[in-house]
Every structure is written in C-alpha cells, then in structure tokens.
Amino acid sequence: MDYQAFINTVNKIACVISIKTDPDGKQGDICIEAANDLYLRSINVDRKDFEPGHPYYEYVFKTRSFEGLTIRCCFLNILLHNYVYDQNYNKWLDNYFIPLASDREDTKYMLFTYDMTPESDAEKLSDITPSAAVRAIKTSVMLREGHNFEKTIQTVIENIREDCKASGCSLILTDFEKRTFKFLGNSIVADENIDKAKDFDEDSFFSVIETWDRLIAGGNCFLIMGSLEEFREKNEEWYESMAMLGIENIALYPLRSKGKTIGYFWVTNFATENMLHTRRVLELTSFFLASEVSNYILYKEMEKISVTDLLTNTYNRNAMNNKITDIVEGRYALSDYYGVVFVDMNGLKTVNDKKGHLAGDNLLREAADTLKKIYTGCDVYRVGGDEFLVIVENRSQEEFDALLEKIKTLSNNSKTMKFAIGAFYGESSFDIRKAMHEADVKMYEDKEHFYSKYPELSRRKI
C-alpha cells in the first residue's frame, strides 16, 4: 500500500506509524513510515531530510506514553485518544491513534494525527468516559470543598488507589533548589515489603526523583507495564528499589505549574485489564491536582512569610502575638513547665552609626542564628528592631538555667554580640503574659547595668 499517497490526502497534521515484528514475535522500533507536509512542519523537519521507515525518535522526543498507546492501538486494533500537555513543545496535544489495514503479516500500521494549541480546551478535557468523569468530578469537588487540604489529599489518594485497584498511590511535593521532597499523600496496601521502604535514604531517593523528568521526556506520564527488566538499563537505582518493593508496574505523572515541576503522583501494581479507564482517570486527576497543589504551595509560602522575619529567618512579632493568643485562649497547651527568655542586642545603634546598617543587619542575623542554635527545638521570635523572645518548653529548671548560662557566657566572651537578658521559668498554670512581663523587666534591668558600665555604647546620651 502506498502510505505516502494516503497520508497526503489527510488535511490535518498526520503520519503513518509502523511496527515490525520478527518470527519470534519480538517488536522492533516504532517508525514513521510516511508523513504529510503539515506533520513535518510541526516537528521542524524538511521533506528532504525525512527518511521513511526510520525510528520516530530520530525526529521527535522519545516518550514511553506515546509508545504504549501506539503498541495498544496497533496490536489490539483499537482507536485511542488522549489530550495532554507536552512540556517539550509547551503545547496541548489532542492526539488520535487509528489502526490501519496492513498488507504485511510482520508489520502493523497506525495513523497518528493531532491538533496542537498553546492553551487547554475545557471541552476536550471533558471528553472522557462516564466512569472517568465521575471519578474526576468527585476529586475536583473534594479538593474544592475540603477544609483541611492535607487530609483531603490523603482521601483523594486513597480513592485513586482503590479505583485503579492498585497496591499503592502516592503524591509528593518537590523542591529542586533545596533538593527536598515531602509526601503529601500516601496510600499503600500493607504487605511484606512495606517495611523495606523505611530503609530508603532521603538523599538517595531524591537522586532518583531527579531522573524522572528525563524519563517522562516532556510527556505527561511515565508508564511501565509487565516486566521491569527493560527499564533496568535506563535507571538502575530506581529499578533496584522498585524490585525490592515488589513493584511490577507503575504509572508516574508529573504535577506542573507555570512550566515548573512541583511534584509527582503515581500508582503501582494497578489492574491492567482496564488500562484505558485508569489512564484517563490519572491524566485528568493530574490536571486537577497540579492546579490545587500549586495553590496550596502558594498559600503555604504566603502563610510562612506572614509569620517570618525576613532578615533573621526567625518568627516575627505577628507569629508571637498569634502564639500568645492561642495559649491564652486555650487553643495551645504549654508543657507542664515552661520558660521565656527576652534577649536584646546591646550596642546595635553604635554598630549601625559607625559601620552602617548592613553591618548591623549581619549582627542581627548572627545573633538570631546563635539563639536558634542554643535553643534548638524552641520557638525564637524577633519582636522588635534588636529584641528577641524565646519560648522554652519541655526543659527542666536545670536545663533551662544551663541554656541561660550558656547564652550569658557567650555574650560576655564575644567582642560583637552583647546581650541584655531577662528570663522567667515556671508552671504552665502561670499566665504567660505575666511571665513575659517579668522577663522583660529583668532584661531592661540587665540593659541598664550594661550601659552604666559602657556608656559610650548607649543608644542615648547618659
């Protein structure tokens, strides 16, 4: 059959794909057998440079999701459709896979055609099976109406795992600048392999995460079905961890926002007999999850900024006020015994006047880092220009006094960091506002003593 003549009659971006099989049934490369001019222009290939029958990945990015759909279309003789965002082109692709008749027993053929747009089309996103639509609508409603986002995500992940009849489903947030990740939702059917996951080193696992975008290769998912062996050469470390956990198949989806990967979600050991439904559910769910997770990250960042002192990276006065209010109104219970420590920088004005505000800012950062290091696990607040508050919990009187002595000794021995310090320690029944007042009075008494000894450093004329 003259497939080039056939494809020239198609008035859409289109090509004919072929897959050969040897006598043993082993599949060969997925090749572009023929292509119309619209297709070649869409992939920036001149007609003179196109060689019919060459592997498709000589002309476009290699993606496992495309290969999986192509194989299903050709060998199961079914029409397939998907609507996905392609990171390589920064476009939305409306793809159709249509099986074609073959005049050769060892070769399967397929028509591949698509539309490409810069923005998503809501109507095309809704062009899914009723069962997938029901699952997507339920997920969307839950994400919108849930009062606790993290609990809602956990429920969504559990529902997806059950719907896909999978052994596991997880969602993680990623920060590639800091090389950190966080599980936002995780649902796993307990088996003999579950405890092995606890042995994974976080840094090693992030090294695996960093390979995922390369495997996805700009597509919308990475899919392994059947044997893991074919994947072994591509990612040995990930292969070893999956094999150890008894994973036989996986569908991995990136969560992207504004061209940036913000996380991933995946299902493992899912039922393959209804793969088309599973893929449609996961593709649409990833779209909703990416949007909601992006909003969640933005909210958490804004929440952090609202309670963080941007100069010293300690909590700010707003955070302190919120904490005290929660304690007073009973929303937060202090430990049985607690302490408060006020620390004020002596001589900061002199540093600002003589060396400039940059030097003063650096001194404040150094002081904040020192307090956080000494009072590990305690809340440290910058409550004024040169004033800090530390709330100390779960420490005995002896431990509290030892930390206090440590900060005083450091202040006495330092040439630059001179602290005025006031502290209180008592039972949780003692009003924290009164405790803060007592500590504050002691701090100012200490400050007056310091400036009487070093009047040249006073912020005011004495």
List pLDDT tens digits, range 333-366: 999 999 999 999 988 888 888 899 999 999 999 9
Phi, psi for 333 (deg, rounded to 5): -105, 125
225: its two tokens: 């079905």
Determine the 3-state secondary structure of 39 from DSSP. Answer: helix
pLDDT band at 191 (very low <50, low <70, confident <90, very high): low
446's enclosing H/E stretch is: helix 432-453
How many Å apart are CA 200 and CA 127, to the nearest integer? 40
Going by pLDDT thresholds of 50, 70 and 90, the confidence category of residue 462 is very low
> In this structure, which topology does domain 317-457 adopt according to CATH?
Alpha-Beta Plaits (3.30.70)
pLDDT at 404 over 90: yes
pLDDT value for 457: 63
More confident residue, 127 or 139: 139
Global pTM value? 0.63
pLDDT digits (tens, 9 = 90+) for 140-187: 777 777 778 889 999 999 999 998 899 999 999 999 988 999 999 999
At residue 422 the predicted structure's pLDDT band, cuts being 50, 70 and 90, is very high
> Distance between CA atoms of 297 and 281, rounded to whole angstroms?
24
Residue 221 phi, psi (nearest 5): -165, 165
Token pair in block for residue 231: 């994947």
Torsion of CA 374, 379, 382, 384, to 10 degrees: -110
Between 67 and 31, residue with greater pLDDT? 31
Shared fold status for 128-304 and 317-457? no
Q: Domain residues of the chain, as ranges?
A: 3-117, 128-304, 317-457
128-304: CATH superfamily? GAF domain (3.30.450.40)
Alpha carbon distance 136, 120 (integer Å): 17
Superfamily for domain range 3-117: PAS domain (3.30.450.20)
Report pLDDT for 461.
44
- What is the 8-class DSSP label of residue 227? -
Q: How far apart are CA 209 and CA 173, in angstroms?
A: 11
Contact 79, 97 (CB under 8 A): yes
